Amino acid sequence: MKSFRKLVIANFKQFFRDKTAVFFTFAFPLIFIGIFGLVFSGDESVNYQIGLVNNDDSAIGEGIAQALNQIPIFELSEGELNEKLTALEDGELRAVVVIPANIEATIAAGGTAAITVYHDPSQTTSAQIILPVLREAINEINRQLAQQPVLLTLAEESILSQNLRYIDFIVPGILAMSIMMTGFFGVVPLVEWREKKVLKRLGVTPLRRSTVVFSQVAFRLVLTVLQATILIGVAYLVFDVQIIGNWFLLFVLLLLGTLAFISIGYLASSRVKTVEGAMPIINLITFPMMFLSGIFFPVEIMPDFIRPVVEALPLTYLGDALRQVMVEATPLHPLGVDVAVLAGWLVVCMVLAIRFFRWE
């Protein structure tokens, strides 16, 4: 117990004397939050530039154009088809809506007038946001033209206790990222000690190996809690991000997440000989995970083929769990599933790390 305590204290002394490590641990996540906070603060309404080509000179064509103009997220600009299509190809427009000629005559003759939408399917927002909105608008116009009465309406009630802003979404994500990094880098001192023969030196003392590992893990856990405290504090004071969830659950998730990523880190670096060799492995795992696990962007906007990968990553579950607990965001998975998956990663990686970790 004496050697455990002294090793943990020694870890802290070493850590706080290393200014680079301190910066990356505490300032880096805050910078991330600052960037996202500034970029997405203020007017959070989104506008899509839509081109409109109106080939109909009747009142119906004018009515459709007006109806589209009233959609708050669309910014319409009228013009010729060729000009608008070029703008679409150049990325200046998100979609081009073409109202056909002679709508009145077509309808009078019992036909259907087709409104054409040109869009770029590789732009996920056009498929997922613009098209449904247009479809809804056209349905509404249809109903009015046919003079059908409204029989059913959809009443929207938010189940969230507050409106979730992007900053509310991003703070738990950044926290998840910090936990991943702090946990993952937990193995680095041990790799360094292995490389520099410190472990060998410790091996000739009565100190047990488990004490070495536990002291490292304990240090990381305390570090995560410190990191989270600062991060949540700044998010609250600067960006008014309210933590509305259960603090105890949050604490449990911090510990579970850190332990899970520590064990993944130990497994990933179980055989590397040098810190230089460990770094690319750590980056290779953490970077894709950071962008694929929906901690910066909602998982929903990711293309379908990548979803199985997303569903396999532990960070997805940590981010989802933290979001649920901290800001009561809509769950991707029930909290129990998130916790179970994280615990699964922890147990499996720990068992494998114990099996494969090379002390020398």
Partner 1 sequence: MVIEVEHLVKHYGPIKAVDDISFQVRQGEVFGMLGPNGAGKTTTVEIIEGLRTADSGRVTVLGMDVAKVPAAIKQKIGVQLQSPSLMPSLTVDELLDVFAGFYKHSLPISEVAELLSLNESRKVLVKNLSGGQLQRLSVAMALVNDPEIAFLDEPTTGLDPQVRREMWSVIERMRRQGKTVFLTTHYMEEAERLCNRVAIIDHGKIIAMDTPQKLIKKYFREKAIQFELEPPPSEAVLRTFPGVTNVAIDENDVVIYSDDITTTMSATLKFAEKEGLTGKLKDLHVRQATLEDVFLKLTGRKIRD
6 binds partner 1 (CB under 8 A): yes
| C-beta of 207 vs 337, nearer to partner 1 | 207
144 binds partner 1 (CB under 8 A): no
H-helix or E-strand spanning residue 116: strand 116-119
- Buried b / exposed e over 203-236, threshold 16 CB at 10 Å, is eeeeeeeeebbebbbebbbebbeebbebbbebbe
**DSSP H helical ranges for 80-130:** 81-89, 103-108, 124-125
Site map for partner 1, 207-226, x if CB under 8 A?
xx------------------
Residue type, 312: A
**Beta-bridge mates of residue 51:** 77, 96
Checking phi first, is residue 162 left (phi over 0); if not, alpha (psi -120 to 50) or beta? beta
Q: Note the residue count of the chain.
A: 360
Q: How many CB atoms lie within 10 A of CB 258?
A: 28
Q: Say which DSSP state 48 is in.
A: E
Measured from the CB of residue 11, what is the shortest distance to partner 1 in angstroms?
Answer: 9
> Which two three-digit tokens encode residue 46?
């989104």
The correct pick among 135, 143, 196, 273 for binding partner 1 (CB under 8 A) is: 196
Distances (CA, A) of 11 to 14, 26, 189, 216, 222: 5, 16, 9, 7, 11
The correct pick among 91, 111, 132, 203 for binding partner 1 (CB under 8 A) is: 203
Rounded Cα gap, residues 167 and 165, in angstroms:
5
The correct pick among 38, 39, 41, 200 for binding partner 1 (CB under 8 A) is: 200
Rounded Cα gap, residues 282 and 42, in angstroms:
36
| C-beta of 197 vs 307, nearer to partner 1 | 197
Binding part of the chain for partner 1, among 7-15, 56-64, 271-279, 300-308 by CB under 8 A, reads 7-15
Rounded Cα gap, residues 137 and 154, in angstroms:
15
Binding part of the chain for partner 1, among 77-85, 97-105, 200-208, 350-358 by CB under 8 A, reads 200-208
DSSP secondary structure of 157-190: ---SSS---HHHHHHHHHHHHHHHHHHHGGGHHH
Q: How many CB atoms lie within 10 A of CB 77?
A: 14
358 binds partner 1 (CB under 8 A): no
| C-beta of 247 vs 359, nearer to partner 1 | 359
Cα three-residue angle 33-217-184, rounded to 5 degrees: 45
> How many residues of this chain interact with partner 1, rule: CB under 8 A?
22
198 binds partner 1 (CB under 8 A): yes
Site map for partner 1, 13-52, x if CB under 8 A?
xx--xx----------------------------------
Binding part of the chain for partner 1, among 10-18, 90-98, 146-154, 321-329 by CB under 8 A, reads 10-18
Residues between 44 and 103 with contacts to partner 1, criterion CB under 8 A = none
| Helix 209-239 / helix 247-268 crossing angle, nearest 10 deg | 130
The correct pick among 23, 92, 127, 201 for binding partner 1 (CB under 8 A) is: 201
Measured from the CB of residue 279, what is the shortest distance to partner 1 in angstroms?
Answer: 18
| C-beta of 9 vs 238, nearer to partner 1 | 9
Residue type, 233: G
| C-beta of 10 vs 73, nearer to partner 1 | 10
Binding part of the chain for partner 1, among 140-148, 195-203, 227-235, 315-323 by CB under 8 A, reads 195-203
The correct pick among 146, 152, 204, 237 for binding partner 1 (CB under 8 A) is: 204
**Contact set with partner 1 (CB under 8 A):** 2-3, 5-7, 10, 13-14, 17-18, 196-198, 200-208
